[in-house]
Amino acid sequence: MKDYERNNRILFVDDEAPVLSSFKSLLHKDGLEIHTLQDSTQVWQLLEETGPFAVVLSDQRMPGLDGIGVLEAVAHKHPTTIRIMVTGYADHHATLRAINTARISSYVPKPWDDNELRELVHDGVERYNLAEEKAQLAHSLASSHESLQTLLERMAQHDEERRNGAAETITALVREKELMLREIHHRVKNNMQLISSLLNHHLTSVNEQNARDIWHKAVARIHSMAMVHQELYESEDFGDVDFLKYLRAQVADLVRRSGKFWVTTSVEGDGTTIGIDRAVPLGMLTHELVANALEHGFRGREIGSLRLQMHLNEAGAIELVVEDDGVGMDEKLVSPGLGLMLVETLAEQLNATVERTRLDGTRYTIHGEEPRRR
């Protein structure tokens, strides 16, 4: 079987030359082959001449052919290409049309966040190449006229060369399963990201500040769950999460969202690889505790620290500490806030207890039971 050749080609279609230049500058050191197109009507000719791109991004409002038309053309010519809408204007109907007809995988509002756009492009490249490699493996396996059972039976009857050939086929099947699992986790993460983008887009029509705060917290909770699936997508073991790595990424993201960059953070632990059945509720629980500390723990302060420690004992039970050196929890804020109600509910899912201590700040300690045997 011929080795799969990776595709790192990216196309951005926009009628504004400065936007295209900014995009190329953002990714020029990332090892990607960047192409830009200012005249959207030339997209068919470009696809015919150059072949498929891994990722195509397009602005929506352009003279000639709009962004949905561009991405529809890409979907018709190369269905597996990852298609992303990047625009400063899109109403609800246009967004739905882009999802239903152009089958976009993501929506990015202008002006974009450089780090988020770079991550989205790289994720798209990985997703495209995984799907193409999976398709090649499937084609190779389908071309064989011998079933796996026949190959296994011949392993007991023929020489070492035949047995090695069957082993290679089994390895290919395992690899196909891994690719499918990786794709599932990536699609879940991408779907959550699309929901977050749509919520952020509609946030512009919400004027009342309390409603805006609730909206932002909902988006942050969705993002927290999406990060678990991103960790699984990047993991070698698609059923387990390196939770210490996830915690560090989660805390950094929450500090960035809060804007309290003066809060120093520390995330420590050992032996913290856990299954997805515990990773999702535990990730949401830590999200609520850290977000609560950043929102309420440093009122009137311009300096502070936040520390997380996590350990698993020999039986796999979780002990997690989230503590800050802030002003302490105002009892008026303890109950019945939604965040702390979620903490109690999530702790029940984990068969864990939550202990709150008020010293110089606030400490939460989560004690979990031993995981159930599968």
Question: Which position has the token pair 């791109």?
Answer: 53
CATH number of 9-126: 3.40.50.2300
Ranges of CATH 3.40.50.2300 domains, the chain: 9-126
Q: Which part of the chain has CATH 3.30.565.10? A: 239-374
State the DSSP H helix or E strand holding residue 108, giving kind and residue range, or none if neither: strand 106-109
pLDDT digits (tens, 9 = 90+) for 331-344: 554 444 666 788 88
Q: How confident is the model at residue 152 (pLDDT cuts 50, 70, 90)?
A: low
pLDDT tens figures, 174-210: 555 555 555 554 555 555 555 555 555 555 666 677 6
Go through 171-184 and write b for each residue having 16 or more CB atoms within 10 A of its CB, e for each that does not. Answer: ebeeebeebebbee
Q: Where residue 374 falls among pLDDT bands split at 50, 70, 90?
A: very low
> What is Dmax (Cα atoms) for the chain?
78
* DSSP three-state, residue 9: strand
Which runs of consecutive H residues, i.e. helices, occur in 108-208? 114-142, 148-155, 160-202
Instruction: Report, at the CATH architecture level, how domain 239-374 is classified.
Output: 2-Layer Sandwich (3.30)
Q: Are strands 55-58 and 82-87 parallel, antiparallel or unpaired?
A: parallel
Q: How far is CA 373 from CA 315, 318, 350, 368, in A?
A: 11, 15, 14, 15
Q: pLDDT band for position 95 (50/70/90)?
A: confident
Predicted pLDDT of residue 33: 94
pTM: 0.50
- SS3 of 144-173: the string is CCCCHHHHHHHHCCCCHHHHHHHHHHHHHH
Q: Which residues contact 271 (CB under 8 A, 6 or more apart)?
A: 311, 312
Q: Are 319 and 365 in contact (CB under 8 A)?
A: yes
